[in-house]
Structure 1
Amino acid sequence: MGYGRAVPEARNVPDHGPAPHQGAGPRPVPGQNPWVQRALTVFVIVAAFWTVRPLGPSGQGVAVAVLLLVNSVALAARHLPENRIPPRLALAWPTLGVVAAAALLGVSSTGTGYLFTYFLVGHIGVRLDPRQSLTLAALCGLLCGGVLYFHLGPGHNPLPWTLGLATGAPVLVGILNRSRRRAFDAAIAAAGSAERAARAEARTAVLTERSRIARDVHDVLAHSLAGINMQLELADALIDTGDLDRVREANQKAHSMVKESLKQAQWTVHALREDALPLVETLTAMLDTSGHRDALTVAGTVREVPSRVTQNLLRIAQESLTNAARHAPGGAVRAELTFGPASTALRIRNGPATRTVSTGAGSGMGLIGMRERVALLEGTITAGPVTEGPDAGGWQVEARIPG
């Protein structure tokens, strides 16, 4: 077969190169099938051994055989991942391949050996940076063009010397595909970063939700269980004294606290299951079940507020009512809900106790929990004794949350 065979178009130039992907095999350029590229490599090698002549055990045939082997190894090496080629060989083996391809063009007299130059130079544009790849492409064009122009081998007659110069052209396709591969890798890296950020955000959300549930559980159980335990211990101590009236009284208080705890637990479960609660209606119902009817005053234009604001205001109200029942039993309770232009404020004030206050200290976590709730929403909260007015001697909690 002679050199009269048409030169393949640039579209047949390989347009992908191996790139490391998490230490695994090469990553193809988007839109390219690596198996197709391997098949093309095999086709070029088989076609060259089938058509290039002379090929024999002596003289020029040995030189052609050696150069065919070198070109085949150089072309097959393009499928190796970059992380498997030492840095010192990254530039050496393409250079050796270019020189061997130009030498084969001059030594052989017939065949398709020139295909090595097109495929190898195209891959150089993918594997190396633009400056190195353009330099090697120019070297390939000059060597192949020089071999044909100066008649340096038996294969110069059938081929024009301009064909030798054109062997460097596929590097432009390779450079374009290199840019595509880099853009593809950058997109994958960006997607990976976004996924990691989303996972971190999800973990943060889970931790935040756990903290919120912990506060809700505390609000419902901590104070109530502490009070119930205290009354039961008192009843147990009074049994030995024989004072059955006081035993019954302590037992009744414990039962009352159990009922109140059940009510508070119902509110907590309801709030955890709902995405959004009607703030005014829920707060009114909470006050009614606590024995304080018509105790809510609403100021401003009523509007829907974010569910997190609603839930946290209701938890603050729940904690305040629990504290009022424990530390100021029988005292009047008033609640004021104010819808401002950029925030929602809740103030709960109780008067002094009118019945005997049970002894015992709380856990100290109630006010801390309220401060944590408000801080998460960038709001403010104040708590302290009432010093003037009809509720002097009582306690007041006021929270203001943006939204």
Structure 2
Amino acid sequence: MQWVLNIAVIVVGAFTIRPMGLSGRGLAVAALFAVNCVVMLARALPEGKVPQRVAVVWLGFGCVAAAALIAATHDGTGYLFAYFIAGHIGFRLPARRALALAALCSLLCGGALYFRIGPGYEALPWVVGLTTGIPVLVGMVNGSQRRAVLAAIAAAESAERAARAEARAAVLTERGRIARDVHDVLAHSLAGINMQLELADALLDTGDLDKVREANDKAHSMVKESLKQAQWTVHALRADSLPLVESLTAMLDSTGHRESLTVTGTVREVPAQVTQNLLRIGQEALTNAARHAPGAPVAVELTFTADATELSIRNGPATRAATAGVGSGMGLIGMRERVALLHGTISAGPITEGPDEGGWHVEAVIPG
């Protein structure tokens, strides 16, 4: 719409403004007409590309050119350029500078008519010249609306970028969770199965078939346990709710610590994520106990308090030689990550006193 109006003012001015020619006063009017067209069409220049000082100079020059066009012509619609330039001033400049330039435009145009500088408009009162600055208010409103729209668009784009970043963070968090589950299910289970199969292979050379069968049975038992763990992982990924006490009991039963669980407090259903992470922490602690302290007694305590669920696993010192091996180093890191995601706390370290001195303890506290 703005472009249509600008072009219309130029076309109408080209046909009505007189004198206009290639010599004398007509040439001066033609030059002023061209200057006013350029100043008015310069509205299309992007605001960020034109320094404010340059805009003040060119628009101030436009006010002078508009007043000079009014003074130099004796007929036509040359005064419309002053109105449009004043509107552009309000659109382009801050309020204080815009009002100052608009006042200058009014004074110059009104003075040109009042003092009859040049032929002027015989039928146009000088008060009309004073009104040429009024469109600055319209320009200020339009500029304010445009800036508000741009700010809203920028805010929407910023919110969209934030949403994309949050989505990427959620994907990375989920990847981390799945990586921990894969570590827990595969690294521990397959390492244990591999140890038993290597033991069975070594025992074949001794001819002790009973021990070979025992190692083979242990490997089969670990395979079954791995399948259970895989089921827990699938349940967790589907956000299904697992019964914490029953699942923990089944885990201890499969590892040969059937009677080691003590439950205190009022048993209640906890969120699936809390159940899954507590089970994984328990599994990690039991696997480490079996690896580094074989034959050691294990005590597991699950406590339900008013505002938290606590899981404690303690094991004594080893009663037989541990099998040499190097862990992945990710177990304790994974436990800390799990608890941190649920805004809980975890402590893990050696036991330095009491009947279990020389053993290890892990205690996780998760709110809710």
Question: Normalising by structure 2, what TM-score?
Answer: 0.85
> What is the CA–CA distance in structure 1 between the aligned matches of 2:211 and 2:247, rounded to whole Å?
37
Structure 1 unaligned spans of 5+? 1-35
Question: Secondary structure in 2 aligned to 1:42?
Answer: helix
Residue in structure 1 matched with residue 171 of structure 2 by the alignment: 206
Residue in structure 2 matched with residue 269 of structure 1 by the alignment: 234
> What is the CA–CA distance in structure 2 between the aligned matches of 1:138 and 1:62, rounded to whole Å?
29
**Equivalent pair of 1:228/1:254 in contact (CA under 8 Å):** yes
* Sequence identity (%): 68
Per-residue CA deviation, residues 72-94 of structure 1 (Å, 9 max, x unaligned), is 11111111223444666322221
Aligned match of 1:169 in 134, 140, 165? 134
Question: Secondary structure in 1 aligned to 2:120?
Answer: helix
**Equivalent pair of 2:75/2:121 in contact (CA under 8 Å):** no
Residue 104 of structure 1, CA deviation: 1.1
Structure 2 CA distance for partners of 1:211 and 1:85, relative to 1, 3 Å: same
| Structure holding more helix per residue | 2
- After superposition, residues 372-391 of structure 1 pair within 5 angstroms as 372-376=337-341, 377-385=343-351
> What is the CA–CA distance in structure 1 between the aligned matches of 2:176 and 2:65, rounded to whole Å?
70
> What is the CA–CA distance in structure 1 between the aligned matches of 2:352 and 2:223, rounded to whole Å?
29
Residue in structure 2 matched with residue 336 of structure 1 by the alignment: 301
What amino acid is aligned across from residue 186 of structure 1 in structure 2? A
Residue 49 of structure 1, CA deviation: 0.8
Residue in structure 2 matched with residue 181 of structure 1 by the alignment: 146
Structure 2 CA distance for partners of 1:271 and 1:332, relative to 1, 3 Å: farther
- After superposition, residues 35-184 of structure 1 pair within 5 angstroms as 36-85=1-50, 89-184=54-149
Residue in structure 2 matched with residue 359 of structure 1 by the alignment: 323
Residue 138 of structure 1, CA deviation: 0.8
Q: Is residue 2:288 matched to residue 1:318?
A: no
Residue in structure 2 matched with residue 254 of structure 1 by the alignment: 219
**Equivalent pair of 1:264/1:318 in contact (CA under 8 Å):** no
Residue in structure 2 matched with residue 231 of structure 1 by the alignment: 196
Relative contact order higher in (CA < 8 Å, ≥ 6 apart):
1
Question: Secondary structure in 2 aligned to 1:112?
Answer: coil
> What is the CA–CA distance in structure 2 between the aligned matches of 1:254 and 1:279, rounded to whole Å?
26
Question: Normalising by structure 1, what TM-score?
Answer: 0.78
**Equivalent pair of 1:141/1:166 in contact (CA under 8 Å):** yes
Structure 2 CA distance for partners of 1:245 and 1:300, relative to 1, 3 Å: closer
Residue in structure 2 matched with residue 402 of structure 1 by the alignment: 367
**Equivalent pair of 1:147/1:156 in contact (CA under 8 Å):** no
Question: Secondary structure in 2 aligned to 1:212?
Answer: helix
Question: Secondary structure in 2 aligned to 1:221?
Answer: helix
> What is the CA–CA distance in structure 1 between the aligned matches of 2:131 and 2:333, rounded to whole Å?
78
> What is the CA–CA distance in structure 2 between the aligned matches of 1:231 and 1:309, rounded to whole Å?
32
> What is the CA–CA distance in structure 1 between the aligned matches of 2:272 and 2:149, rounded to whole Å?
41
Residue 147 of structure 1, CA deviation: 0.8
Residue 212 of structure 1, CA deviation: 2.3
Residue 128 of structure 1, CA deviation: 1.5
> What is the CA–CA distance in structure 1 between the aligned matches of 2:240 and 2:87, rounded to whole Å?
59
What amino acid is aligned across from residue 58 of structure 1 in structure 2? S
Residue 293 of structure 1, CA deviation: 5.5
Residue in structure 2 matched with residue 194 of structure 1 by the alignment: 159
Question: Secondary structure in 2 aligned to 1:346?
Answer: strand
**Equivalent pair of 1:71/1:97 in contact (CA under 8 Å):** yes
How many residues end up aligned between the 2 structures? 366
What amino acid is aligned across from residue 74 of structure 1 in structure 2? V
